[in-house]
Chains A and B, each alone.
Chain A
Amino acid sequence: MSGFRGTISRRNLLKTTAASGIVLATPTIFTSKAWSQGAFLNDPAKSGKLILGFNVPQTGPYADEGADELRAYRLAVEHLNGEGDGGMLGTFSSKALQGTGILGNKVGYVTGDTQTKSDAARASAKSMIEKDGAIMITGGSSSGVAVAVQALCQEAGVIFMAGLTHSNDTTGKDRRANGFRHFFNSYMSGAALAPVLNNAYGSDRKAYHLTADYNWGYTTEEAITSATEAMGWETVETVKTPLAATDFSAYITPVLQSDADVLVLNHYGGNMVNSLTNAVQFGLRDRVVNGKNFEIIVPLYSRLMAKGAGANVKGIFGSTNWHWSLEDEGSKAFVKSFGTKYGFPPSQAAHTCYVQTLLYADAVERAGSFNPCAVVEALEDFEFDGLGNGKTLYRGADHQCFKDVLVVRGKENPSSEFDLLEIVEVTPVDQVTYDPDHPQFAGGALGTCNPGA
């Protein structure tokens, strides 16, 4: 310490500072989280503000979806606060929401960028929870991100309302008590598509799969192969393609050399746009194999993707969660208020995010509390209607929504740049319902809800 003699006064200063800090802190010890009983994290009654966290991809491959999700969230917040035309609030079967915020609190929000990376998404969600005091996190356009953020929300003790996530795992092996998914999943796509494909293409087909090399791709491939094999199709080959790939010609060439007569593209977003374009360029759709026309199938469709792929999507089958051309009251009300505000119809990503926000607000209102455990209870086995998908059930066993699934086809003669898909069939909910412990969903446990304090 000898070399340190000259700075004694500084040490004294520090000591005094530290001591006075402790003294000042003493009266506030009772406000510390560790001491409060029966409370929950980020209680709006304590902080005086109600913040929802909208965590969407603003950069990266799903930035288009993210931007649309954000538009839907802004619209939902407007409607919850009683601005605008109220959108689906008027058609929602539950009438708990009055357009006066949630439990009388004006809804505020913060936004963040997931970058479609688990790490970045968690960092962004964490800062929303810790810094901005968000009581609920929602959004995302990738299953990996949804699973990661859902786990974080479970640990932290806030509700997670998943955005666009289609992988079985979100409500399967990675399900969490604090997480809820309105969007449909790979299994439902397979179950809905199979009968339609059977009618259109027959039961004697050989399928070749190109699969995006990540979690969602795997579960979709599994769901589609098992559903199509059950009706007699044969799976010739399944090939994984890197998520970052933009040129799929190297993967299309082997398809030409195989005796497959159907190509299933388990791709989403930009991947699907590129792989489908490549497949069409290689003349796959003009091919005749085994005496049958060669066909292409895209299990998960969205309007944004159809727009990207242009004329290539004509006549191609796929499934979707929702489409703006639906004629029920809820969809019409939503399309109208979205269109009035932004000038174009919403995508399915926008729809699911809007609905999730409303469902959360409604559950809080019905529970009479923001406590995550009360919200979980209010949402579990909740049946509702009027949000664009007909009668829907939020199943308590895995927190997955069960509703009709749309099978769509690329339109031959689109009347506008938004009118790209036509609804071929509305598969009734019974046909896509499965057991919570179905093999494709097994291995997960909800655990108990975590209020975070």
Chain B
Amino acid sequence: MTITRRRALLAGAALSVSLIATACGSPGDGGQGAAPAQSTSATDQEAALNAGGTITVWAWEPTLKQVVTGFQAKYPKVKVNLVNAGTGDDQYTALQNAIKAGSGVPDVAQIEYYALPQFALSKSVTDLTPFGADKLEGTFTPGPWNSVRSGTGIYGLPMDSGPMALFYNKDVFDKHDIKVPETWEEYIEAARKLHKADPKAYITSDTGDAGFTTSMIWQAGGKPYQVDGTKVAIDFADEGTRKFTAAWQQLISEKLLAPINGWSDEWYKGLGDGTIATLVIGAWMPANFESGVKAASGKWRVAPMPQWESGGKATSENGGSSLAVPEASANKALAYAFMKYAGVDEGVQTRLDAGAFPATTAHLNAAEFKDKKFPYFGDQQVNQVLAEAAAQVVPGWSYLPYQVYANSVFNDSVGKAYISSTTLDDGLKAWQDASVKYGQEQGFSVQ
């Protein structure tokens, strides 16, 4: 990274920028050079591009660093300027602001699947069909592939995927003689048994999370969002949704869910000390376990997601990101080439080696990938489970073209179910109303 930036600085740093670098007594060795490529005028950008063939990539995904190194080694004339412009929402805000301002827009941006429709609808990101993205059908598993398509366009290339699975703490299960649940009914039973045996232990933690809730509804066969261009229908009372709420309401009402916010330090602590016994979460989780929950090394295992019907094989996607090319990019061909390298070609293996979970069928089915033993998971070949899950994602799901907003107000309404006597069904209804209202205000035709 540092090398790239230094070269960019040489290539054409704006005068003011280098002056400041000198003025503050810093040797000007680091990121300053990145500034001109992003935020100065379009002509500066072009000059920089002609000079060195530089593209700017906004992404927070950690393994991309190695991908960039590999990419530049393979194509020495191209410079990739990898910028962590914030995680998730922060980056979307930055991207929207840059698009609105018409300058400083990156050539490639990481965008999570749930957020992509919003950028696709406003045509802020490029339809990749002319670049040959349509020929990649079959390269990716269905879940992520469907997530990057909108109408007839393809607005991103899948970078990773998050088919859901059940991560459980085997030590805790063994200690209390609990069987690994195969259905949600068994899961609830396990929750009761565990909490009764140890009042400090919970089957899982949940304080209301939009991504998790929608993924659960997705697995249950619910299709609350129907989107056709600018026509949107929202219904959180369909059968699939009801299946989920009926089950989850029991866990909430009986106080069987640890009131710990996901991704907090307390959450990591709970995962480590047995307070949180399971996680139903995307297949990208192993890397986070390995780095964040070292205390429980060897204790966790992975099993298929619990089913709504005994013997069923249904999962859904949870999280995961694509790479997309903003419409304002001045070097789309180069941008696309990088994305393809990172998401389809050699870059995938680089990322897998660093612990990422792929969206490409070829890599998912490779023996090397599937047979890999994870010491953290007691030498379990967890990818066997996870790769199978990737093939079992329930089809037909879509997110709202304004899901980022909808998710931001999720806890205003559905959150009430976790802290008051409001039911999950009522909470979802209120969320639906808020989403409908917003959609109408934004000019969608909403039912």
Interaction A to B: no
Chain B interface residues (CB < 8 Å from chain A): none
